[in-house]
Chains A and B, each alone.
Chain A
Amino acid sequence: MSLSLPPWLLPLLLLLALLVGGWRAWRARRGARWLGFVLLLQLGVSLVLWQLLRAPAPAPAATALIVLTANHGLPTDDPQALTRALAEYPSAAAYAEASVSALPEAGSLPLGEGRTLQAVPDLATALRLWPARRLLIIGDGLQPRDLPAIRSLALDWQPPGQLEGVTDLQLPPPTPVAQDWVLRGQLSLPQVAANDHSLWQLRLLDPAGTSVDQVPLSADGRFELRARTPVAGRHDYRLQWRDAAQAVGGELVVPVQIVQPSPLRLAIQAGAPSPELKFLRRWAMDAGLLQQSQIAMRPNLRLRGGEAINGAAAEDWQQTDLLIIDDRTWRDWPESRRAAARSAVAAGMGLLLRQTGTLDRIAGERLAELGFQAETAEISRQLRLASPARQDCDAPSSEGKDAADPVASGRCLGLGQLDLQRRPLRVQADPSVPLLQASDGEPLGLWHPLGQGRVGMLWLSDSHRIALMLGPAEHATLWAGLAGTLARAQGTVQNDPRSLEPAWVGQRLTVCGGWGQVRDPTGDTTDLLASTDRPDCAGWWPRRAGWHALLPELDSTQAERWRYVRAAEDAPSLWRASIQRQMAAQVATAPTATDPETAYSDSRWRWWLSLWLLLGGLWLLERAPPRRSD
Chain B
Amino acid sequence: MSIPAAMVRRWRQARWRALLTPVLLVLAPLLALTWAWPQGWPMAVLVGLAALAGGGWCARRLDRHWLALQMDARVPELEDSSGLLLGLEAPRSGLAQAQMARLRARLPTLTLPDLRAAWPWRATLASGLLAAALALLLTHWPSAEAPVDVQAPLVVDPPAAVSEPAWRAFALSIEPPAYTGLPLARSDEPVATAPAGSTLRWQWQLDGPDQCQQCDVRLRFHDDSELPLQRDIEGQWSAERALPEDTYYRLLVDGQPLASPDGDSGPWRLHAVVDQPPQIRVIEPTRTLTVLEQAQGQWPLQFEVSDDYGLGEAELQITLAQGSGEQITVAERRQRLRGEGDQRLRSYRHRLNPAALGFAQGDDLIIRLQVADRAQPRPQRSVSASYILRWPARQAAEASGVEVSVQKAMPAYFRSQRQIIIDTEALIAARFSPPAGQTPLSADEFAERADLLGVDQRILRLRYGQFLGEEAEGAPSSELQGRVAALREDGDDHDDHDDHEAHDQPEDRSAAADQHAGHDHGEGGADEGDGGFGSAISVLEEYGHTHDDAEATTLFDPATRALLRSALNAMWQSELALRQAQPRDSLPHQYRALDYIKQVQQASRIYLARVGLELPPIDPSRRLSGEAKGLARATDRLQVAQADDPVPAWWAASAEGSAPTAEQLAQLRAWLDQAAPATGDPLSLLAAAERWSADPECRPCQRDYQQALWPLLRLPPTRPSLRARLDAVGASYLQRLERLDASATEVP
Contact = CB atoms under 8 A, between A and B. Distances in A.
B651 A491 contact: no
A487 interface: yes
Contacts of B716: 177-178, 230, 286-287
Interface stretch (A8-16, A301-309, A364-372): A301-309
A492 B725 contact: yes
A281 B638 contact: yes
A587 B603 CA distance: 93
Contact of A206 (B633, B639, B710): B710
A303 B634 CA distance: 5
A476 B718 contact: yes
B720 A285 contact: no
Contact of A232 (B652, B725, B734): B652
A588 B635 CA distance: 70
Interface in B552-609: none
A305 B636 contact: yes
A231 B651 contact: yes
Contact of A283 (B713, B717, B721, B727): B717
Interface string A474-490: 00110111111101011
B718 A177 contact: yes
A289 B714 CA distance: 19
A286 B717 contact: yes
B640 interface: yes
A32 interface: no
A233 interface: yes
Given A207-B707, A301-B634, A451-B738, A264 B714 contact: no
A491 B718 contact: no
Contact of A263 (B635, B706, B719, B724): B719
Contacts of B707: 207-209
Interface residues of B, number: 39
A262 interface: yes
B637 to A, nearest CB: 8
Interface size class of A (residues with CB under 8 A): 35 or more
Contact of B719 (A261, A282, A304): A261
B652 A480 contact: no
Contact of A306 (B633, B636, B717): B636
B715 A264 contact: no
Contacts of A304: 634-636
A303 B632 CA distance: 11
Given A233-B651, A489-B723, A178 B639 contact: no
A178 B711 contact: no
A293 B651 CA distance: 33
Interface in B701-742: 706-708, 710-711, 713-727, 731, 734, 738
Contacts of A261: 719-722
B615 interface: no
Given A208-B707, A494-B724, A176 B719 contact: yes
Given A234-B655, A493-B724, A207 B719 contact: no
A293 B636 contact: yes
A228 interface: yes
A467 to B, nearest CB: 11
Interface in B192-219: none
A209 B711 CA distance: 10
A472 interface: yes
A452 interface: yes
Contacts of A232: 648, 652
B715 A178 contact: yes
Nearest to A451: B738
Interface in B636-666: 636, 638-642, 647-648, 651-652, 655
Interface string A536-563: 0000000000000000000000000000
B634 A260 contact: no
A301 B718 contact: no
Contact of A264 (B628, B640, B719): B719
Interface string A238-266: 00000000000000000000001111100
Contacts of B443: none
B416 to A, nearest CB: 47
Nearest to A230: B713
A562 to B, nearest CB: 12
B123 to A, nearest CB: 63
Secondary structure at the B interface, as helix, strand, loop or mixed, is loop
Interface centre among A228, A230, A479, A481 (most CB of B within 10 A): A230
Contact of B726 (A233, A479, A489): A489
A176 B718 CA distance: 8
A301 B629 CA distance: 11
Interface centre among A231, A479, A494 (most CB of B within 10 A): A231
A288 interface: yes
A176 B636 CA distance: 29
A297 interface: yes
Given A231-B648, A233-B651, A493-B727, A484 B634 contact: no
A289 B718 CA distance: 10
A452 B734 contact: yes
A179 interface: yes
B714 A230 contact: yes
A484 B723 contact: yes
B168 to A, nearest CB: 37
B631 interface: yes
A203 to B, nearest CB: 16
Contacts of A263: 719
A539 B347 CA distance: 73
B717 A178 contact: yes
A281 B642 CA distance: 14
B720 A483 contact: yes
Interface in A285-317: 285-290, 293, 297-298, 300-306
A221 B642 CA distance: 42
Interface in A473-522: 473, 476-477, 479-485, 487, 489-494
B718 A230 contact: no
A480 B640 CA distance: 17
A139 B706 CA distance: 42
Contacts of B727: 493
Contacts of B714: 230
Given A301-B631, A487-B722, A230 B648 contact: yes
Contacts of B641: 282, 285-286
A318 interface: no
Contacts of B722: 261-262, 264, 484, 487, 489-491
A309 to B, nearest CB: 14
A476 B638 contact: no
A210 interface: yes
Nearest to B716: A178
Contact of B723 (A176, A234, A491): A491
B112 to A, nearest CB: 89
A304 B734 CA distance: 37
A262 B721 CA distance: 8
A91 to B, nearest CB: 49
Interface centre among B708, B710, B714, B731 (most CB of A within 10 A): B710
A403 to B, nearest CB: 15
B636 A485 contact: no
A176 B716 CA distance: 11
Interface centre among B634, B716, B717 (most CB of A within 10 A): B717
Contacts of A451: 738
A323 B722 CA distance: 15
Nearest to A278: B638
Given A263-B719, A484-B722, 11 more contacts: A176-B719, A207-B706, A230-B713, A232-B652, A233-B655, A234-B655, A301-B633, A301-B634, A473-B715, A476-B717, A489-B723
The 9 closest A-B pairs by CB, nearest first: A305-B636, A491-B722, A484-B720, A208-B710, A287-B717, A230-B713, A483-B720, A480-B718, A476-B718
20 contacts: A177-B719, A178-B716, A231-B651, A233-B655, A263-B719, A285-B640, A286-B641, A289-B719, A289-B720, A290-B638, A303-B636, A305-B635, A305-B638, A306-B636, A452-B731, A473-B717, A482-B720, A485-B723, A489-B724, A493-B724
